[in-house]
Structures are given as C-alpha cells and as structure tokens.
Amino acid sequence: MVKEIERAGIPVVHMCTVVPISLTVGANRIVPTIAIPHPLGNPSLSREEEKALRRSLVERALKALQTEVDGQTVFEE
Amino acid sequence: MSKIRVVHYINQFFAGIGGEEKADYKPEVREGVVGPGMEFNKKFGEEAEIVATIICGDSYFNENIEEAKKTIIEMVKKYNPDLFIAGPAFNAGRYGVACGTITDAVNKELGIPVLTGMYPENPGADMFKKSVYIIETKNSAAGMRKAVKSMAALALKLAKGEKIGTPDEEGYIPRGIRKNYFAEKRGSERAVEMLIKKLKGEEFKTEYPMPDFDRVDPNPPVKDITKAKIALVTSGGIVPKGNPDHIESSSASKYGKYDISQFDDLTPETHETAHGGYDPVYANEDADRVLPVDVLRELEKEGKIGQLHRYFYTTTGNGTSVANAKAFAAEFAKELVADGVDAVILTST
C-alpha cells in the first residue's frame, strides 16, 4: 500500500515495528515504532506518558515527510 | 551410520502454546519433536532425526531480533546438529521473517546447512531467498504435508552434501544463482525455438528471467507542514466498533474508509481492531495506539499541521495478498489525490 500511495504522487511515511519488512516491501520514509500489537503506544506507561510517546513518534513522522530523501531512509531518533 | 542430527525451529502457534496472546513467548528449547516435527521425522525415516525443537513467539523474535538470534544460536550449538530447519511458515509474515533470519544466522555462525519453507509472498521470502534455501509452500497450513515432503527431501540432500538441482526440480524459491551447464543445442537454435513457440502462442520458458524489482522513487517532501492536509492509512485493521463492513480478520478482500471528522480521540466505545494477526487487547483498549488520531488532532489544533483528512483508510495486513493490497491502495490513492491530501502516515502492526 505504501508503494501505491507513493506512486500516486503523495509523500508517505511508514510507521512500523518490523523495519526489515518495510525495507523489503519498498517504503522510502520509515519510522520505527514500539511493538507489533501497539506500534504507537506502550500500555505499561501512564496515559500521559503514553500520549507523549505517541506524539514524539508522530512528530518524527512529520519530520520525515518534510525531509528530502533519495532512497530508503529509516528515521531513528 | 548414525542418524543425521536435526534441530527444528517453530513458533508458539505450531508448538501448541497459544495464538497471538502468546506471541511474546521467549525462546525455549525442548528435547525431541514438537508439532510439525513429527511429520518431518516420519519423512526422514532412518536417515535423520530431530533431536531438539526450539520454540519462540513471533512477536518476541521480531521485536528483539538480535537478542533472539543470539539466544537461539546458543541453543542450537548445544545439540551439535548436522542440519537446522525452520517452519514451514506458509504466509505468516512474522513467522516467515523469523524463519529466514534464524536459518541465515545459524548457517553463517555455525556453518551447518539450513532450510526453511514459506509462501513466496511472505516478506521473509524476499528477504532471505538469496541466502538460504526456502521451499515454496502454499499460503496456509493446509499445505503442511506437501511442504514437509519437499522440505524433508531437500534437507537430507543438503545434510549429505549432495548436488542440489534447480528450483523447479527441488521446489525451492529461486535464489538468483546462475550455474553454467552444457546445453545440447546451441544458443541460436534455442532462441529460434523459443521465438517460434512464442509466435504460435505456446508456452515457453525463458532462460534468463528478469529480476522483479518494484521500487517507487520517493516523492519530494512536504514544503509547509502547517498547511498540509494529512491522511491516515493503516494495515492494522482499526475499524469503527462492530466492524460495520466486516473486514476479514486475515486475508482481507476489502478495505474500509471511515469518517473521523467527529473524533478527537479513539476510545474502546468507538473503535476496535479487526486484525487477527496480533494480540488485539491493546488496540481494542485504545485504537490510538495503532491509528494516532488523538495526537494528530492535537497537532491540528496547535496549528502544527494544516488538517487531518476527514477519512482514514484501513485493512488487515495479515495474510492479505500483495495483489489485493496493491489494488486497494491504487484505488484509494486516487481518492486521496482528488481530495487534495498532501501527505500520508501509514501505520502497520
């Protein structure tokens, strides 16, 4: 799906936990996430901490969308 | 001659430990066979025997790849096997990646022959088909018998150091290796024969298949994110409570498009996941953990992004064929373009 969206001309960032899969599939902008059943959360944190964590990941995704890349790029912290 | 010693790797599901709720199961080694190992031992007959089975949860492996690799290699080493096999994983994505990763690692670290099996669309196949032998299997465990039969036959050959035939003969996924051989007819003759077959509309077989690279160049970045319209897409199966369109829990035949304009936050009362390929407890408790509507709404209010697009698109990514996923996205990407969406955040579980 990532590739079809990219092919349609829209920049796309893939947020996922298993980065090797994303690389194999062919995503260009990749943000690694927390865990498979809760990529953008962590149930062991408090509600506030969890939301802060989610916000930091989404902000990284937005940064990725604003970054020029010339090939597959993983946006680590 | 003593029997060939084999160590077998399987996941928590095939070990009978549990489904997704046990996917974080840490590596464990048991003497002898567990689950599909029994069928392997039957096919091995007197020639080989599974001496130990290593079990590991699919999520645990994929979330802790380096650690899992280290632990499992140590476990394998203790049994001093002549051969290491994993799976078969069919079309289970995380299991396939685990089987590919661990067979590749065992082969490199311990120098023994390795083998796994999976469906060609399993992401693990593309990742590891060049470094290890992967028997091509069906997309579900219904193909177990056939998979074990081909795997056992090739496994014995590998362990005995026998000559390995072509992918067609042995049933493994082509590795992209070229071997020289003497053909009976010269090239020009073969080429003309192929051309004639093609002209007649008959089936012909190329001697040099083109590699299948499907890469899309990245689009230029978003210039002004504070004015951008951003859409959310997910393969994590988030749907309105009750799954109104009955999106399948695996091997999805459709996707959903849902209005989130009235939501600042996804709650257990409003949204849940339809995905059957991961433990749904966390997403059902708070779907923002997969589809971050709450923080995007916040960022929208603060003026950090222009706008969160009114609709999100969703499907379940487990076992869903590449052809389906491609068709879904090709269709809704057109809508996204027509709706003036500037960028997409796609989340996967």
Domain boundaries, chain A: 2-74
* pLDDT band with cut points at 50, 70 and 90 for residue B175: confident
pLDDT tens for each residue of B52-102: 999 999 999 999 999 999 999 999 999 999 999 999 999 999 999 999 999
d(CA B123, CA B114): 19
Long-range contacts formed by B297-300: CB under 8 A, 24+ apart: B297/B263, B297/B264, B297/B265, B298/A55, B299/A55, B299/A58, B299/A59, B299/A62
Q: Tokens at residue B57, please?
A: 């949860």
- For residue A60, the model assigns a pLDDT of 97
Across chain B, what does the average pLDDT equal?
94
* pLDDT band with cut points at 50, 70 and 90 for residue B211: low
CB pairs under 8 A between A and B: 194
Partner A contacted by B127 (CB < 8 A): yes
Helix (H, G, I), strand (E, B) or coil at B295: helix
**pTM score of the predicted model:** 0.77
pLDDT tens for each residue of B281-338: 999 999 999 999 999 999 999 999 999 999 999 999 888 888 889 999 999 999 999 9
Overall average pLDDT of the A26-51 stretch: 95
Residue B33 near residue B40, CB atoms below 8 Å: yes
- For residue B205, the model assigns a pLDDT of 84
Complete domains list, chain B, with CATH: 4-170 (3.40.50.2300), 225-347 (no CATH)
Residues 6+ apart with CB under 8 A from B327: none
Partner A contacted by B299 (CB < 8 A): yes
Give yes or no for residue B213 having a pLDDT over 90: no
* pLDDT band with cut points at 50, 70 and 90 for residue B261: very high
Least CB-CB distance to B225: which of A18, A50, A62? A62
A33-42, B46-55, B121-130, B199-208: segment of lowest average pLDDT: B199-208
Give yes or no for residue B31 having a pLDDT over 90: yes
Cα-Cα-Cα-Cα torsion B280, B286, B288, B289, nearest 10 degrees, comes to -50
Give yes or no for residue B210 having a pLDDT over 70: no
Other beta carbons within 10 Å of B161: 8
- For residue A77, the model assigns a pLDDT of 72
| Structure-token match 């076992």, residue found | B319
- For residue B191, the model assigns a pLDDT of 92
Partner B contacted by A17 (CB < 8 A): yes
Residue A66 near residue B306, CB atoms below 8 Å: no
Partner A contacted by B217 (CB < 8 A): yes
Overall average pLDDT of the B238-267 stretch: 95
- For residue B267, the model assigns a pLDDT of 96
Kindly determine whether residue B343 and residue A11, on different chains, have CB atoms separated by under 8 Å: yes
Overall average pLDDT of the B18-22 stretch: 92
d(CA B180, CA B211): 19
Residues 6+ apart with CB under 8 A from B245: B239, B254, B256
Set of chain A residues whose Cβ sits within 8 Å of the Cβ of B345 = 12-13, 15, 58, 61, 65
B15-19, B184-188, B289-293: segment of lowest average pLDDT: B184-188
Kindly determine whether residue B279 and residue A37, on different chains, have CB atoms separated by under 8 Å: yes
Percent of chain A with pLDDT over 70: 100
ipTM tops 0.95:
yes
